Amino acid sequence: MESEHLTFADFLSYISRNQELLWEYFIQHITMVVIGLGLAFIVGVPLGILCSKSKWAAKVILFITNILQVVPSLAMLVVLMLWMGLGTTTVMVGLFLYSLNPIARNTYVGLKQVDPSYLESGKGIGMSPFQMLMKVRFPLALTYIMSGLRIAAVIAIGVVTIAPLVGGGGLGREIYAGLNSNNSLRIFAGAIPAAVLAIVADIVLGMLQRKMDLAKRKSAGATPSPAKMQNIN
C-alpha cells in the first residue's frame, strides 16, 4: 500500500479494525520497558551510591556501564540472543544493561552535588553514615536520579521497537510487519504509538523532575543548621 494514497481516515479505520491486536502490542511494549527500567533502577541506584563512596569503584563501574551504553542496541540484542535465545527475556535484559549508565551516573552525580553544609550539619547532630545517605543525601539527589530515569525511559522505548528481530513483542511487530508487506498503515500504526509513548514518558517524568527540583530549592532556601537537620531527622 503506497503512503501517498493514504488519508488520516484510512489510518483511523485501520486502528479501529485492529485495536485489540495493537492494544496487545502496546501493553507488551510498556511491560518490557517497565521491567527493564525497574531492574536497572534497582541495580543502578546502589551502583551510583557505591560510586559516590569510592573513586576506584566509580571509574570501574562508570567505564563498564558506559561501554554498555555505546554498544549499538541491535548488536547487544543479537549477542544476548546467542546466549539467552529468542524471546522477550532477551529484550528486557538488553534494556536493563542499556539503562544502567544514565541511572548509575546520575545517582553518582546527584550524591556528589549535595551541599557540604548539609553533611556537616548532619554530622553535628550525630547522624550515622546510613542516616546521612537515606535522610539527607539521597532525597537531595532525587532530581538527578529522576533525570537519569527519564533519559533511560526514552531510550528504552525506542530500543524496544527492534525487539521483534530477536523474538520479542511490542509495537515493533507491527512496524516490521508493515515493512515486510510494504504496508504503510501497519508501519504508522506501530511507529506513531511508540513515538507518542516516548513523548508522554518524557513529559511526565520531566514534570516530576521539576516538582522535585522545586521542592529541593524551597527546602534549601536557607542555610542549613543543626536545628533544621534535627527536623529532617
For residue 182, is it left (φ>0), alpha (ψ between -120 and 50) or beta? left
13 belongs to a structural domain: no
The CATH number linked to 164 is 1.10.3720.10
pTM for this model (two decimals): 0.85
12 belongs to a structural domain: no
Q: 35 or 218: whose pLDDT is higher? A: 35
4 belongs to a structural domain: no
For residue 115, is it left (φ>0), alpha (ψ between -120 and 50) or beta? beta
5 belongs to a structural domain: no
1 falls in which pLDDT band (50, 70, 90)?
very low
- Confidence at residue 3, expressed as pLDDT on a 0 to 100 scale: 47
Which of 24-33, 73-82, 134-143 is least confident? 134-143
Q: Answer whether 202's CB lies under 8 Å from 149's CB.
A: no
**Radius of gyration, alpha carbons of the chain:** 22
Query: Phi, psi at residue 206, to the nearest 5°?
Result: -65, -40
Sequence-separated (6 or more) residues with CB below 8 Å from residue 86: 166, 167
Read off the pLDDT of residues 108-137 as tens digits, 9 standing for 90 and up: 999 988 878 877 877 778 788 888 888 888
Question: How far is it, in rounded angstroms, from Cα 229 to Cα 211?
Answer: 22
94 belongs to a structural domain: yes
- Confidence at residue 115, expressed as pLDDT on a 0 to 100 scale: 79
65 belongs to a structural domain: yes
Structural domain that includes position 37:
18-232
Sequence-separated (6 or more) residues with CB below 8 Å from residue 173: 25, 163, 164, 190
Read off the pLDDT of residues 152-196 as tens digits, 9 standing for 90 and up: 999 999 999 999 999 999 999 999 999 999 899 999 999 999 999
Read off the pLDDT of residues 76-94 as tens digits, 9 standing for 90 and up: 999 999 999 999 999 999 9
9 belongs to a structural domain: no
- Structural domain count, the chain: 1
Q: Answer whether 52's CB lies under 8 Å from 112's CB.
A: yes
220 falls in which pLDDT band (50, 70, 90)?
low
Q: Answer whether 91's CB lies under 8 Å from 168's CB.
A: yes
